Structure formats: C-alpha cells, structure tokens
Amino acid sequence: MSKDLRVAIIGAGMAGILAAIKLKEFGIKNISIFEKANGVGGTWRDNSYPGLHCDVPSHHYTYSFERNPNWSNFYSSGPEIREYFEGIFVKNKLEQICLFNTEITSLSFKEGLWEITTNKAKTYEADIVIGATGVLHHPYLPDLEGINNFDGYKFHSAKWDHGLSLKEKKVGVIGSGSTGIQIVSALSGQCRHLYHFQRTAQWMMPLENGSFSDEEKLLFQDPKNLSEAMNFEEYFDAVEIYSQALLDKDSIGANEIAFACKENLEKNIHDEVLKKKLTPDHTPLCKRLIWSSDYYPAIQKPECTLITKPIKKITNEGIELLDSNLIDLDVIVFATGFKVDQFLRPIKTFGIDGISLDDYWKEYPKAYLSIAIPKFPNLFLLNGPNGPVGNFSLIDIAEHQMNYILDLIKIIRKRQCHIDVKTDITESYERDRAAAAKKTVWYTGGCTSWYLNAAGIPASWPWTYKDFKKEMSKPDLEAFELIE
C-alpha cells in the first residue's frame, strides 16, 4: 500500500464528482477519475430527450454543500441539471484528475493493490477503488421480432437523435415509464402524429412545474433565505412518509397517494374508453410513481393516439400489433428503460484469490449496505446494488454513502490496511433485505418493474429513509475484516 493513498473513481457522473470532491476535502492527493465518455454528468449527459426533467424539487436535487439559488423551475430540466454538474466539476478543477475517453476494462486485486486496465495501453494501480457507475446507464432494447427490419429511424431514449426533425414525422414511442411519459408530453402536437405504445398503464401524481422569478432567485442568493425556502423539515417528512408508503400499502401516506392518483385520472380524462386504458391494474407505488400534469392533456390531443394492443413485431414500415393492425411510422423511440443489474459491469472484476464479481453476482447483484462486496477489499460502491431508489434525491443518498465510505477510508489511511466486508455478514444482511423487500409494495402491488431483480425480489432498500440515514451514520466495524 502506498503511503499517499491512491484512489481510483469510476465515472464522472453525479456520484463520481461527489466522491472526488469529498476525497480532496479529506486530504487525499492522488485521485483519478476514469470516465469512458468525453463529458461529465453521467445520466444527465446521456439523456437529452425532449421534456427531460427531474421530479425531485430543484433545490433539493443538489449537493448539500453546493446549493444552487439560480434554478429556473421548481423541477429542473435535464440541460440545466447537466450544466450544474459541469459547473461544479470545473469549479473543483476536476478536469486535472479526470481521464476522459478512458474505459476501465478490468479491475484485479493483486498483492494488496487494485490493478486497473483500460481501453488505453497504460495500466494503473490504486489502493482504493470507488465505483460510481450509476444504475440507469445501460439502455435496454426489447427483444421484439423484426426490430432490425424497420426502414425508418429508431433510437433509444438515452441516445436521442437531435439531428432529426420530427415535425412532419409519424412517431411511435414505446414505453410508459417516467421517460416515455415525459417524451410523449413534450412531443404531442409537435409531430405529424404521435403514437404512444403502452404495455402497462401507470399511476400519475399531478405535478405543476412553475418557475422562480428573478426576485426569488435574488432572495435565494442568501443561504439563509434559500434554506428557509427549502423547508427541510417538510421535505424530509414527505420523504419519510413516502418511504413508509412503499413498505406499507395501507399506511396513511399510501392511501393519500392512491387517492391523489385516482382523482388525477378521474378529473383529467373524460372519455371512458381512454380512462379504462389508462387505469392501472396494480397498486399505486408498485411501479415508480410518475409525476406529471402534462401527460393526460398530451395524450388527448388529436395528433396523439394511445395504443394498448400488444406489439406483435416490428416491420419495415412500422409496428404490427397482435390484432394484425399495422401502425405506419417514420420514427420509433424506445423508452424501454435500462439494464439495471450491471453496476460495475461490463468491467471484469477480480477480488481476493481471483474470485470473479460475475460469479459472485451470478444470481443477482449483492453488496453489504449497497457499498461493499466480500472478497473485494477497498472497493466501494456509490448507488450500488439494492440501495434506496425511488422518487427522491439520489444525490442525498450518495452523500450519505460517501460519508460512510470516508469513515472506512479514515481507517485504511490510519492503519494502512485493507477493509473487506465479511461474507457471512453480507449474506445474512442480504437474507434480511430480501425478506423485507418481499413485504414492500414493489413485491405485493401486483406489477413488474425494473425494481425487481432476476430472482423477482425488489432490488432496493426495503426499510425507511430514516433507517437508511441511521445505518449510514457510522460503519459497524464488526461487519468488516481489517487486513493489515
């Protein structure tokens, strides 16, 4: 182990930027960020589809140490969030330590060090590796018959083709998750005709997105005023109520959310046939809740059609439905989500005695408290497997995780050691987590979603937000082995 710890961070998205800033503050001098693309911002760099915005209130969707008084809207647009991260990256001079266009291909723990190979000829070494590779990163394209036969344009929502004008086009959007709903809301009325292919209806909470006035932005320059406006108590109470609603579908919060969603549908869709098509058959919150006041008006525009008949195949002309109807299209947008079980992968990762991460994750990805994996010492993950995901700020989640990791790094620095989470503790943690996850609405609510892993178990933190904060407040050192 080198006296000056060398830390490798994988990814220059929200979590990688956070890790670099916190490590610098902590006095670590030798930090490298490996970023496979040529820009920062992760998901906010990759996603640029029309209508993209975040459904966490703008002022709360920031680092706690870098609030932003200048947000334009109550809920920020994708481009503005990307600019926020780019600005912080530059402000902290992270370009000096970031290797762009450098994709890590393998990580091997050898003789007490992490050996890092990349797509470049050079190899690197690190004492500590922090994986900040994101969750929603690898686009998922469904295995639809004929997908490659289509003669028109087709792309995934995370790879938007901005060179293509949709104005005179017949556009099909497949998928009704948060992404598909935002795209349809933005494109309705902007194309020759828009077809929305919905396999499963979604519950929607109304969300009016107002803008902040210049006077308000001026007021928010004073951190005291901004803090007051952010009303932390109310915000975190809402987060806690929401997290309890996920655990107990009969809780007051769950009932209130269900009532608001049903009322939203009832009030805004008047055609009974359309209402039936848009009425989900599962419990609200089973799938990630959609926040939108724009979708119901959008889908009722004359230039927009909701298609609920299942897709049979894709032909050279468009999408053929199971009833053999053909929807003739110029463009198909796949808002079909992401492969969410990748995390560090496709990096080939080998721990103590050459154990492979692919083998350890054969059934599904597991990590102690989402952060540490047994036999992979000094390797820590931000927003790793089974962590809190939901309708709240992943920045806040990553900050708590980073504080926990810093506590471990403190020990590594002091004792010049490796920290390895114990296998039995991890397995027992995962058993408890899986048992609790099976009681949540993600499991009992009668739906499928990206929250479920390959074993059908919700891949998420199945306790409350307060429980998460408590768990992150200090590492339980009994869970770890110190290899000196």
Binding site for ligand NAP (CB under 6 A): 54-55, 136, 142, 144, 174-180, 182, 197, 199-200, 288, 311, 335-337, 448, 450
Minimum distance of ligand NAP from residue 186's CB (angstroms)? 12
User: What number of other Cβ atoms are within 10 A of residue 251's Cβ?
Assistant: 16
Contact between 400 and 391 under an 8 Å Cβ cutoff? The reply is no
Residue of closest CB approach to ligand NAP: 177
With CA atoms as reference, report the closest residue to 238 among 68, 392, 389. 392
261/255 Cα distance (integer angstroms): 10
Minimum distance of ligand NAP from residue 176's CB (angstroms)? 4
| C-alpha pair distances (Å), 422 with each of 204, 340, 372, 374 | 42, 25, 9, 6
Tell me whether residue 177 or residue 374 sits nearer to ligand NAP (CB atom).
177
Burial of 438 (0-12, 13-18, 19+ CB in 10 A): middle
Minimum distance of ligand NAP from residue 338's CB (angstroms)? 6
Minimum distance of ligand NAP from residue 335's CB (angstroms)? 5
Tell me whether residue 336 or residue 464 sits nearer to ligand NAP (CB atom).
336
316/252 Cα distance (integer angstroms): 50
358/344 Cα distance (integer angstroms): 10
Minimum distance of ligand NAP from residue 200's CB (angstroms)? 3
* Crossing angle of the two packed helices 394-415 and 465-472, in degrees rounded to 10: 20
Minimum distance of ligand NAP from residue 180's CB (angstroms)? 5
User: What number of other Cβ atoms are within 10 A of residue 120's Cβ?
Assistant: 12
Tell me whether residue 207 or residue 417 sits nearer to ligand NAP (CB atom).
207
| C-alpha pair distances (Å), 283 with each of 49, 210, 374 | 29, 29, 36
Tell me whether residue 76 or residue 102 sits nearer to ligand NAP (CB atom).
76
Tell me whether residue 182 or residue 349 sits nearer to ligand NAP (CB atom).
182
Tell me whether residue 118 or residue 157 sits nearer to ligand NAP (CB atom).
157
